[in-house]
Homo-oligomer: A and B are copies of this chain.
Amino acid sequence: MIKEITVRDLDPGKFISEKVNEIQTLVGDGIAINALSGGVDSSVVTMIGHKALGNRLKTLFIDNSLMRKGEPERVANTFGKLGVEIEIVDAREEFLSALKAITDPEEKREAVTQTFYKEVFGRIVRESGAKFLLQGTILTDVDETVAGIKRQHNVFEQLGIDPQEAFGYQIIEPLIQLRKDGVRKVGEAAGLPKEVFDRIPFPGPALAARIVGEVTREKLDVVRVATDIVEQLLKETGAFQYMAILHEDRVTGMRDGQRDFGQQIEIRCWDSVDARTATPTRLSFDLLEKLASEITGNVPGIVSVTYNIATKPPSTIEVV
């Protein structure tokens, strides 16, 4: 049973020094490794790990082809300014081939997980000699994995998997007692810039979770453009999370007076405190129509755009 630290009980400075001590004790004079996705959780873990271990923490950005537009460069640049060196690993082909022909959401997550931990990370860890992996798991990930709602890519113990045995390294999860709101406070105290600690969540399977059905390079290119439009237009809303989802269903549209049989982008924009429950953000119709026209005008093959109006539960935040 993990003991939750609510945002009310959280002293971010004290939390950071405790975690720094714990990491130093566990790792000793060894080497640790962590993967930075650019999301809040892994960014905060990177900062805490860096404080604890300095350059004995090796931080990797794995380009899995599932990232947003310009993501690798943006992340390396942000952390470079903070004095944290990031190594970019090109693993695009490995992920794409692992995802080939998979349509079930859970199998998709599993393919991303396996490729990440066993293939790519396994290789890097062996080469680096690191025996410790720092991981940004938070309490909501654990809850949802235990409940069987959604298998987070970064939760092992709860699934009865021993990462030491399976992957050859021990996992350290400094944020596991926190929820998203707590993580943001710790991120601010750790010196992260606002655009990072206040950033909307972007989970591990990344754009693979934004595609219904098989993930292909072509679909990733489509959803990447839509994601960029949605994030640009919604960043001022203050919403908890927002996303573009590429659907597989084909629907009728019209272009230049002719029938055009295309696909839909679904937009979800959530109000939430901790991701356990969430409500669609009440965006203005001016903004909704602008989103739709930008997407149908700029994203190849998209003839229709919808906005999610269901709450979580019974929906979930991500579509798959």
| Chain A residues within CB distance 8 Å of chain B | 105, 147-150, 212-213, 247-255, 257-261, 266-267, 279-280, 282, 285, 288-289, 291-293, 296, 303-316, 318-320
Pair A303/B314 contact, Cβ less than 8 Å: yes
Asked if A253 meets B304 with Cβ closer than 8 Å, knowing A261-B105, A289-B280, A296-B310, the reply is no
Least distance between A152 CB and chain B CB atoms (Å): 12
Looking at A254, A257, A307, A310, the one whose CB has the most chain B CB atoms below 10 A away is A310
Least distance between A249 CB and chain B CB atoms (Å): 5
Pair B252/A318 contact, Cβ less than 8 Å: yes
- A147 CA / B253 CA spacing, docked (Å): 12
Asked if A314 meets B149 with Cβ closer than 8 Å, knowing A248-B249, A307-B306, A307-B307, the reply is no
* Chain B hits for A249, CB < 8 A: 212-213, 247-249
Pair B305/A307 contact, Cβ less than 8 Å: no
- A309 CA / B290 CA spacing, docked (Å): 9
- A304 CA / B305 CA spacing, docked (Å): 15
- A287 CA / B167 CA spacing, docked (Å): 50
13 additional A-B residue pairs with CB within 8 Å, beyond A280-B285, A303-B315: A105-B252, A149-B259, A249-B249, A252-B319, A254-B313, A254-B314, A254-B315, A282-B285, A296-B310, A296-B315, A304-B314, A304-B315, A306-B308
Q: How many copies does the complex hold?
A: 2
Looking at A212, A293, A315, the one whose CB has the most chain B CB atoms below 10 A away is A315
* Chain B hits for A259, CB < 8 A: 147-150
* Chain B hits for A288, CB < 8 A: 280, 309
Pair A258/B147 contact, Cβ less than 8 Å: yes
Pair B260/A314 contact, Cβ less than 8 Å: yes
- A279 CA / B282 CA spacing, docked (Å): 18
Pair A314/B253 contact, Cβ less than 8 Å: yes
- A319 CA / B249 CA spacing, docked (Å): 10
Least distance between A26 CB and chain B CB atoms (Å): 33
- A155 CA / B192 CA spacing, docked (Å): 64
Least distance between A219 CB and chain B CB atoms (Å): 13
- A305 CA / B312 CA spacing, docked (Å): 11
Chain B: which residue is nearest A247 at the CB level? B249
* Chain B hits for A319, CB < 8 A: 251-252, 304
Pair B311/A289 contact, Cβ less than 8 Å: yes
- A149 CA / B213 CA spacing, docked (Å): 27
Asked if A305 meets B313 with Cβ closer than 8 Å, knowing A105-B252, A149-B257, the reply is no
Pair B309/A289 contact, Cβ less than 8 Å: yes
Pair A291/B309 contact, Cβ less than 8 Å: yes
- A250 CA / B313 CA spacing, docked (Å): 16
- A253 CA / B147 CA spacing, docked (Å): 12
